[in-house]
Structure 1
Amino acid sequence: MISLRNITLRRGQTILLQDVNWTIYHKQRIGIIGANGSGKSSLFALLLQTLHADKGELEIPRQIRIAHVAQETPALSMSALDFVLDGDIEWRELQAALKEAEAKNDGTRIALLHEKLSIIDGYTAPSRAAIILDGLGFNPEEQQKAVSDFSGGWRVRLNLAKALMARSDVLLLDEPTNHLDLDAVIWLEQWLLKYAGTLLLISHDRDFLDQTVDHIAHLSHQQLKLYTGNYSTFEKLRANELLMQQAAYEKQQKAIAHMQSFVDRFRYKASKARQAQSRLKALERMEVICAVSAESPFQFHFRPPAQCPNPLLTLEKADAGYGDKCILQHINLSITPKDRITILGPNGAGKSTLIKLLAGELSPLRGKRVTGPGLKIGYFAQHQVDRLHLTESPLAHLRVLAENVPELELRKYLGSFGFSGDMVLKSVGQFSGGEKSRLALALLVWQRPNLLLLDEPTNHLDMDMRNALSIALQEYEGAMILVTHDRFLVRSTTDQLLLVANGKLQPFDGNLEDYQQWLFEFRRQQTADTSGSRDKPEESRKAQRQHEAKQREHRRPLLQKIKKLEDELAKLQKETAQIEEMLTDLTLYEPQNKDRLQKYLLAQARIKAAVEEAENAWLSACEEKDHQNN
């Protein structure tokens, strides 16, 4: 149990948190959300004790082990696998002690150390590290490469892998899905669901939060408020709070206006002076309820494209790759106005290669890339962000695209992306990753593209900006092709899924949940293929494939049962959240509402029993599936 009592945190002269009281219990899974600058990362720094409170007490039991993702990764010559193994400090220490004991030929100590390794499951450490790396997108060859060989984004993944490898009671993850593709995000979700400790997660990915947390800690106006449930539940509860707050505000404003009117009319009239003075004192004592302000500072729109040729862009029997290496073959794709496409595919299959081919950054190795007259591509990718001029301001960047537009109009436009006041004149080098991404988007939107190519556009963007981007894309009148790990963005803005896998591009018949199942099967098949099947004769491999096909057919009813139970659990969890929301109504506990309260409590008990029964059935089915797999 970690306790924060009357904690006040400052950054410079700015108060981030004031008089916050919060208790974090064992095995809680808490998503921490709030606007940029609200104090989320500072809260993590406080828990890691790299930042100290300006006031209040933090109590962390001495035996609690906290793991977190390091911010920097030095260019080390050690392999990625060894780097991740360093996360398990106890295992490393036992290995070093064992090496020393073996050098001294100390049999008793050697036996004792082997016993300790067995207790901590130390003999499986290298395989556990390899599984984590594989889940985060590192193939066996890459796991042996030096850390210094990887780019910045992949080093972030290595830091995440090292944190997951650590033996911890509390795991702190700050935006772990940045720099991950959808496959790695799905894998991380499954890993976190099995994590036995307390999880504190800062994230702007609503689907990821929905899958991994059971509480939301909302930082706003220097306070922290804890909500029970996942992010979707929080959104509903927060919306109701804001509606009630607005209604209370409007009611109070009417009362204030009425009282002030009385005071203004009669404060100098002898017969009414006492009543006027009484109302004046009541006004002074009244606790002012704040009006609900617009929660998001971002609101922008794509201007209609100047023209939209049909088709916009066509690939005819095109091969894509680099030099002599062909990654995708025989691509046939025609993009027409209004197309809204998401590209799915496992890590390394060629999604970004396809986007670069469409953008014209790569030429086809074979085949044709045909552009329509008047095609104007808006391409967003990480390297577009990296091309911003760090010494220049947002206004200077936009001025290059809009030489003759009045400065007031440019400032107003930049303001819709959160750049207002003096910020439009600051050098980009001072900006955070999210601010740079916002600026790159602003420059793209200004150019009125008729084809958007978006490769992970939500990296570093907070929840407000993601919502604004989603709304803007829904209204966008051109065509769009999207590669992203943000499933909410996929669901809210696209209506067609294409799959890149095994060197091909083809339609994907299903939804994101079906893709997740496809991905599990794909990975299982890859594992089977790399476990020695390449050395078998063709007949043996054919027999193996037939056997696996029969196994899949045999497992199908069980998989359907598991899916049905998961759907039932999701429905029950939704009902639980609804009941819990109803039980927050304070009027329910008044004597006249006793029967209604009893009804809700009985319903809550019934649902809880149903959840327990469904969970037991689901666990039994999963164990049966695992037994079949083995």
Structure 2
Amino acid sequence: LDEPTNHLDLDAILWLEDWLKAYPGTLILISHDREFIDEITQHVLHIEHQQLNYYSGNYSSFEIQRSARMANQQSAFEKQQREIAHLQQFITRFKAKATKAKQAQSRVKALERMEKIAPAHVDSPFHFTIPAAAKMSDPLLDIKSAELGYNGKPVLQQVSLQLGPANRIGLIGPNGAGKSTLIKTLAATLELVSGEKQLGEHTRIGYFAQHQLDQLDSNTTPFLSLQRQAPTTDELTLRKYLGSFGFHGDAVHDTIARFSGGEKARLALALIIWHKPNLLLLDEPTNHLDLEMRLALTLALQEYEGGLVLVSHDRHLLRSTTDELFLVAHNKVEPFNGDLEDYAQWLVDYRQAQQSSNDSPGQNREDKRDKKAERQKAAEIRNQLRPLKNRIQKLEQSLAQLEADKKQIETRLSAEDIYDAANKEQLTELLQRQGAVAAQLEATEMAWLEASETLQTLQQSQ
């Protein structure tokens, strides 16, 4: 499967995920959805520098193993560079002396036979921030008792939503429920059917949607596209800015017509962010982005100080950048009391209700009441377990980081030069860090075990 989730909504992705988990055959998958990879794979083949590297485990495990491998590679590279320098120094000093010529020649051959180790290089080509406008209204945007839709026909009813600089909202809901209708109305590309909408005096909206990729001028270049928006800005500043989105050197003058979907998406985001919006409305921004650009966008949004409304099937992006979820369903927009795991269960219940409605339209009210009570009970149990699951997830993240720290310290301690007299202070610091990390690791493991046992006990008591 080559990028199977690119144009699927979250509902379809969760269904495909469950189906693939039960699939008995062999699966080879290319995907930029890290949570999707995490859930269904047991091995990772990573292509880098024209080499294929095998890792056992899912994507999260791959990140930890690769980090350790890169640390080991860098240590080996530095050690080899010292050895090469030593051999080269001997050759330079003695190649002209008859008595040492033979030894010098042997060292030349040793250098020629030596298999060179490449330096570790994991820097992302994308490094950007999202600055917000200096002046900020609060609220940025306010909708009251509104009907939203197309051509005077409402899709969403009685919508009241106030957005401020502190709001970071993820929109969830079944396909076709009206998420894009809502975000288009917020962006003012759709008019209200009825109701009130007020924009703050200093509100500056940045709106990203997939149709904007097709609206880019295919006959121009990234540099000219940005220069049109900033005609008084000097060339060096424009080039530096485009470089932070991966357009380096002559690439700023490449014709957009030849761009991939990912390159167009990066350029569209760059053009939006240039204007320093204090309210970002993002509708599926990661559809064509690779993992490195997704990570860069995630980090930039985490530091962003404006308001955010996000529609995305990328669960990692939603978890990492939003503080609250709003459910768009049944012609309404309401706060969702739960996390993405709860939403996955909500979708299961929603599909079952849809199926039951189709199969037996005359189902009696008592059966409906029973099913409603069951759903409410299940929701209550999930609410009890959620804080514990969140704690376990955080502890697992801490364990992964501590394990990586431990491996990096051990790698450094395995290097010969660390025990030189000149590195005494560094050695002492490393040994102190090693002890501290070991203590933290032991305490975190114990906390994880206790939390896991508590969760298991609660689940068995249901």
For 1:433, the equivalent position in structure 2 comes to 261
Alpha carbons of structure 1 residues 555 and 495: separation in structure 2 relative to 1, 3 Å: closer
Superposed, which structure 2 residues align to 1:444-483 within 5 Å?
444-483=272-311
Question: Match for 2:131 among 276, 298, 303?
Answer: 303
Is 1:420 aligned to 2:248, yes or no? yes
Tell me the alpha carbon deviations over residues 408-436 of structure 1, each in whole angstroms, 9 at most, x when there is no partner.
32222212212223322222111111111
Q: Give the TM-score normalised by the residue count of structure 2.
A: 0.80
Tell me the alpha carbon deviations over residues 276-332 of structure 1, each in whole angstroms, 9 at most, x when there is no partner.
333333222221110112342111122342321111111111211112321112222
For 1:250, the equivalent position in structure 2 comes to 78
Q: CA RMSD in A?
A: 3.7
Instruction: List runs of 5+ in structure 1 lacking aligned partners.
Output: 1-172, 586-616, 626-630
For 1:314, the equivalent position in structure 2 comes to 142
Write the letter of the residue equivalent to 1:296: S
Question: Match for 1:549 among 346, 352, 372?
Answer: 372
Q: Alpha-carbon deviation of 1:178?
A: 1.0
Q: Alpha-carbon deviation of 1:261?
A: 2.5
Is 1:219 aligned to 2:47, yes or no? yes
Question: Equivalents in 1 of 2:275, 2:348: separation in Å?
Answer: 40
Question: Equivalents in 2 of 1:229, 1:469: separation in Å?
Answer: 26
Larger RCO: 1 or 2 (CA < 8 Å, sep 6+): 2
Is 1:191 aligned to 2:19, yes or no? yes
Q: Give the TM-score normalised by the residue count of structure 1.
A: 0.60
Question: Match for 1:278 among 91, 100, 106?
Answer: 106
Is 1:409 aligned to 2:237, yes or no? yes
Tell me the alpha carbon deviations over residues 569-622 of structure 1, each in whole angstroms, 9 at most, x when there is no partner.
999x99xx99xx99xx9xxxxxxxxxxxxxxxxxxxxxxxxxxxxxxx9xxx9x
For 1:326, the equivalent position in structure 2 comes to 154
Q: Alpha-carbon deviation of 1:237?
A: 1.1
Question: Equivalents in 2 of 1:553, 1:412: separation in Å?
Answer: 54
Q: Alpha-carbon deviation of 1:271?
A: 4.7
Question: Equivalents in 1 of 2:211, 2:282: separation in Å?
Answer: 12
SS across alignment from 2:28: strand
Tell me the alpha carbon deviations over residues 217-260 of structure 1, each in whole angstroms, 9 at most, x when there is no partner.
21122222222211111111111111110111111112222332
Instruction: List runs of 5+ in structure 2 lacking aligned partners.
Output: 411-455
Alpha carbons of structure 1 residues 329 and 192: separation in structure 2 relative to 1, 3 Å: same
Question: Equivalents in 1 of 2:85, 2:120: separation in Å?
Answer: 19
- Contact persistence 2:153–2:193 (CA under 8 A): no
Write the letter of the residue equivalent to 2:297: L
Q: Alpha-carbon deviation of 1:202?
A: 0.8
Question: Equivalents in 2 of 1:359, 1:339: separation in Å?
Answer: 16
Question: Equivalents in 1 of 2:377, 2:336: separation in Å?
Answer: 24
Question: Equivalents in 2 of 1:552, 1:449: separation in Å?
Answer: 41
- Contact persistence 1:455–1:484 (CA under 8 A): yes
Alpha carbons of structure 1 residues 309 and 227: separation in structure 2 relative to 1, 3 Å: same
Superposed, which structure 2 residues align to 1:99-498 within 5 Å?
173-498=1-326
Question: Equivalents in 2 of 1:469, 1:307: separation in Å?
Answer: 23
Q: Alpha-carbon deviation of 1:451?
A: 0.7
Q: Alpha-carbon deviation of 1:196?
A: 2.2
The total of aligned residue pairs comes to 414
Identical pairs, percent: 52
- Contact persistence 1:305–1:477 (CA under 8 A): no
Alpha carbons of structure 1 residues 559 and 305: separation in structure 2 relative to 1, 3 Å: closer
Question: Equivalents in 2 of 1:519, 1:389: separation in Å?
Answer: 39
Alpha carbons of structure 1 residues 187 and 280: separation in structure 2 relative to 1, 3 Å: same
Question: Equivalents in 1 of 2:147, 2:230: separation in Å?
Answer: 37
- Contact persistence 1:351–1:483 (CA under 8 A): yes
Q: Alpha-carbon deviation of 1:263?
A: 2.7
For 1:522, the equivalent position in structure 2 comes to 350
For 1:607, the equivalent position in structure 2 comes to none
Question: Equivalents in 2 of 1:415, 1:552: separation in Å?
Answer: 51
Alpha carbons of structure 1 residues 557 and 487: separation in structure 2 relative to 1, 3 Å: closer
Is 1:531 aligned to 2:356, yes or no? no
- Contact persistence 2:146–2:158 (CA under 8 A): yes
